[in-house]
Amino acid sequence: MSKKIFVLSAALVLATVLSVAGIRALSNHESNSVSTPTMESLNTRVTAADRQIQMAEARIKNFPTSPHGYNLLAGAYMQKARETGDFGFNARAEMILNRSLEIAPDDSSALILRANLLLNYHRFREALEEAKRAQVPGRESPDLYGVMTDALVELGDYPAAV
C-alpha cells in the first residue's frame, strides 16, 4: 500500500511541476509575442534607406539638373532592394541612373553605381566595362576598385582581380 501511495504522490508532484512549467512557458511566450514586432510593423518601419530616399527626392526637387541627387536616390533604392528583397527597387535605381547619366554622361559616381547595379544583375562583363569608364587618372576610388575586383573574380580572372 505504501508503494502505491509513493507512486501516486510522485505522479502528482510530477504533474504539478509539468503544469507549472507549462504555464510559465506559455506566459513567457505570450509576453514575448507582445514585444516582438509583427510583420506589419516591420513593413511600416522607416529605415535609413527610406530616409535617404526622402532626402534625395528633396535634393532632386531643389536641383533637378544636378546628377548628385539622382545618384543619391539610385544608391538608396539599391539599399532598399537589399533591405527588403524587393528587386523592383533595382529597376527604379536603373531608371534614376539613366536620368543622372543623361545630365552628366561621364559622372564617375553614376558610372560606379551603375557598375554596382550590373553586378547585382550578374552582368559581370558589363559591370567591368562600366567601371573602366569611371576610372579617372590620378583619382583613386575604393568603390571603383571594389566593383572591378568583384567583376574580375566573378569572371574568373583572379590575377587581374589581385
pTM for the full model?
Answer: 0.70
pLDDT digits (tens, 9 = 90+) for 70-99: 999 999 999 999 999 999 999 999 999 999
Helix or strand run (H / E) with residue 120? helix 108-120
pLDDT digits (tens, 9 = 90+) for 22-69: 445 444 444 444 444 454 545 568 889 999 999 999 999 999 999 999
State the cell numbers at 8: 501516486
Backbone angles phi, psi at 139, to 5 degrees: -120, 115
